[in-house]
A = this chain, B = another copy of it.
Amino acid sequence: MKHIYFTPGPSQLFPEVTGYMKQAIRDDICSISHRSKAFQEIAHTCQNNLRKLLMIPPSFPVFFLSSSLESMERIIQNTVEARSFHLVNGAFAHAWHRAATGLGKDATAHIFEAGTIPDTQNMQVPKGTELICITQNETSNGTSIPLKKIYELKKRYPRIPIVLDVVSSAPYPKIDFKKIDGIFFSVQKGFGIPAGLGVLAVCDTLVQKSIELRKKQKRIESYHDFESLLKKEAVFQTPETPNVLDIYLLSKVTTLMLEKGISVIRKETKQKEKILSSFFSKSTLGELSIKNKEARSQTVIVVNIHENKASHLIDALRKKGLVVGSGYKECKETQIRIANFPQHTVGDMYKLINALKIFEKKIGD
């Protein structure tokens, strides 16, 4: 039986990916040189598409890295001499904070509860902070920070760059790059292609900061420092032999997304989220974990399952060909996580709801 993966990443692939892979094989995409014109054209298309789709300005180079954990590390390594500030409400925000402390930085974590909205209006960012790190969409617990709250912080601290982890929300959030200095994401979530590629876009000021730190000998030099990355990005290449297949697949999937239109994708995302949240607002199986709608992720929906029956429910759904994610770590038995990515159709969501209804009925009997 063919399954549908509603897992928060790796997740369902776009159905077109199979065909793209076959085309890649036919066209020798995995054998061409990463220094060839053919590769440069693919990388160029991919970057251009990402720019159009997410409205990334020309002043933001678009770097290809290998994962979002790498992006977290490289951002700190390249742009923070001493002090970073982190909004932390879950495991992935914590990972970014740990990346900073691991690199020896004085990293302040502003801890806030899952499901709540941080009070950016009154938040005190420590003096000397060089970078504000915000996990816009926390994959582990389904909390999302509204962009307007982040912009509020930017308004209060216009000189401190803000970089967003949009790993499990992109391409959904409509980001204003005048108010945000960088974003990163991976491709195995909302872009529906195989894992093994991270994308990082940062403003020119952050690249300049990286150069400044190198000149002051305040950072290491690396094949993946922003200078090395920029040198190659300018000619649509990467310092190392990259995951060429994924860059190719991403160029194809973003073409598909542009054809559909990002506004349609966003509208459908909201529609599908509504289908899910309506169901769980009156289900006997469980309830939405994030009560505050403003703080609830549109792309990773976390549900508290009654009577610790999460794994039971997951197994039952899997038997019907529907794979939902388990709760993160300690929430394995009490929660499920449902991804609502562009590759998931409205029809997929109804299939899931129907299966949930059957299960609900069985429990009720």
Question: Within 8 Å CB of A323, what residues of B?
Answer: 31
Of the residues B31, B223, B244, contact of A196 by C-beta under 8 Å = B244
In the complex, which residue of chain B has the Cβ closest to the Cβ of A323? B31
- CA–CA, A221 to B107, complex, Å? 14
A295 on interface, CB distance cutoff 8 Å: no
A244 close to B32 (CB less than 8 A): no
Known: A196-B242, A197-B196, A242-B67. A25 touches B21 (CB 8 A): yes
- From 234 to 274 in chain A, residues with beta carbon under 8 angstroms from any chain B beta carbon are 239-246
Question: Within 8 Å CB of A90, what residues of B?
Answer: none
Known: A73-B222, A186-B241, A220-B104. A34 touches B195 (CB 8 A): yes
Count the copies: 2
B244 close to A102 (CB less than 8 A): no
A10 on interface, CB distance cutoff 8 Å: yes
Question: Within 8 Å CB of A246, what residues of B?
Answer: 196, 243
- CA–CA, A17 to B18, complex, Å? 14
A18 close to B10 (CB less than 8 A): no
A25 close to B31 (CB less than 8 A): no
- CA–CA, A98 to B225, complex, Å? 13
What sequence of 0s and 1s flags, for each residue 76-102 of chain A, a beta carbon within 8 Å of any chain B beta carbon?
Answer: 000000000000000000010011011
A102 close to B220 (CB less than 8 A): yes
Question: Within 8 Å CB of A25, what residues of B?
Answer: 13, 17-18, 21
Question: Within 8 Å CB of A104, what residues of B?
Answer: 220
Question: Within 8 Å CB of A11, what residues of B?
Answer: 31
B30 close to A13 (CB less than 8 A): yes
A31 close to B5 (CB less than 8 A): yes
B10 close to A194 (CB less than 8 A): no
- From 88 to 122 in chain A, residues with beta carbon under 8 angstroms from any chain B beta carbon are 95, 98-99, 101-104
Known: A28-B5, A99-B223, A222-B102. A67 touches B241 (CB 8 A): yes
Report A's interface with B, CB cutoff 8 A. Answer: 3, 5, 7, 9-13, 17-18, 21-22, 25, 28, 30-34, 66-70, 72-73, 95, 98-99, 101-104, 186, 188, 193-197, 220-224, 239-246, 323, 325
